């Protein structure tokens, strides 16, 4: 079974509690839709979280968010094959996978396209406060081109992203202290164009800290959904 949820920001308890209740097996997959926080501090705090997640039976399949480093920039990650796509893995945490953007994974008979990343609306606050911010938080031109080539030659059943297409953005979740004129929505506008070219069954995303559904777009934060919801 596949289970999906939203951002956990370096706090493993939500996943641990879910596993304690549902009792997933090694054959199951939990998808976290970005801002996992396992590659945030670059020190032992990351290792502590990874150890907690690695104790769980299911595969933890992670999408890149905006409040975390990309795995390829963290020591110890290797790129490996997984279900038709590529993932970043550290040898000591073999069930903790970080999907490479633009890859397509065949899971339970469906094709899943992964598109991570987003703009941090709190970028300038984070810079002033000395918190983590990374200039490669959004998909770059090469990644966008790769995604565009992928959807030309593959049918896609499910999209897994951190943010969402622009037209679906839940504007009621916008932070009132943020001047929206200063926000870079280029990723969301690009996802609009991607969405219009796809005939998909479901699209799952996090980022906005809400749980709701708009058409075939599933926003997840606190809640979990399963593959049966597709």
How far is the C-alpha of 65 from the C-alpha of 37, rounded, in Å?
9
Look at residues 112, 99, 119 and name the one whose alpha carbon lies nearest to residue 208.
Answer: 119
Look at residues 94, 102, 115, 127 and name the one whose alpha carbon lies nearest to residue 164.
Answer: 115
Helix, strand, coil abundance in the chain, percent, nearest 5: 30, 25, 45
Provide the pLDDT for residue 228: 79
The CATH number of the domain holding residue 201 is 3.60.21
**Number of compact structural domains in the chain:** 1
- Indicate if the pLDDT at residue 179 is higher than 80: no
Look at residues 29, 39, 89, 92 and name the one whose alpha carbon lies nearest to residue 64.
Answer: 39
Provide the pLDDT for residue 229: 77
Mean of the pLDDT values across residues 188-208? 98
Tens of pLDDT, residue by residue over 41-98, are 888 889 999 999 999 999 999 999 999 999 999 999 999 999 999 999 999 999 999 9
The token pair at 92 is: 């000591």
The counts of H helices and E strands in the chain are: 5, 13
Look at residues 122, 90, 98, 94 and name the one whose alpha carbon lies nearest to residue 34.
Answer: 98
How far is the C-alpha of 53 from the C-alpha of 97, rounded, in Å?
11
Tens of pLDDT, residue by residue over 2-48, are 999 999 999 999 999 999 999 999 999 999 999 999 999 888 889 99
Higher pLDDT, 216 or 43: 216
Q: How many CB atoms lie within 10 A of CB 162?
A: 29
Domain that holds residue 216: 2-229
Beta-strand runs (E) in the chain: 2-5, 29-32, 59-62, 77-82, 85-90, 96-99, 104-107, 110-115, 158-161, 202-205, 212-214, 217-219, 224-226
Long-range contacts: 148-153, Cβ < 8 Å, 24+? 148/194, 150/102, 150/103, 150/104, 150/113, 151/113, 151/194, 151/197, 151/198
pTM beyond 0.85: yes
């Amino acid at each position: 079974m596949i289970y999906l949820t939203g951002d956990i920001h370096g706090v493993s308890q939500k996943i641990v509690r879910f596993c304690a209740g549902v009792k997933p097996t090694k054959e199951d997959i939990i998808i976290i839709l970005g801002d996992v926080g396992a590659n945030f501090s670059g020190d032992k705090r990351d290792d502590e979280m990874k150890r907690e997640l690695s104790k769980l039976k299911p595969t933890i399949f992670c999408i890149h968010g905006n409040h975390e480093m990309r795995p390829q920039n963290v020591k110890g990650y290797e790129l490996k094959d997984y279900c038709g796509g590529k993932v970043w893995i550290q040898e000591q945490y073999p069930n903790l996978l970080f999907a490479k953007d633009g890859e397509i994974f065949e899971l339970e008979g469906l094709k899943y396209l992964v598109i991570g990343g987003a703009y941090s609306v709190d970028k300038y606050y984070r810079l002033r406060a000395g918190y983590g911010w990374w200039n490669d938080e959004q998909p770059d031109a090469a990644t966008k081109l790769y995604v565009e080539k992928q959807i030309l030659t593959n049918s896609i059943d499910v999209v897994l992203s951190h943010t969402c297409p622009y037209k679906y953005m839940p504007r009621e979740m916008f932070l009132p202290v943020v001047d929206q004129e200063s926000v870079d929505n280029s990723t969301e506008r690009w996802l609009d164009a991607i969405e219009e070219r796809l005939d998909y069954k479901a699209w799952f995303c996090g980022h906005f800290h809400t749980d709701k559904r708009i058409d075939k777009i599933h926003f997840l934060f606190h809640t979990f959904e399963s593959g049966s919801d597709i």
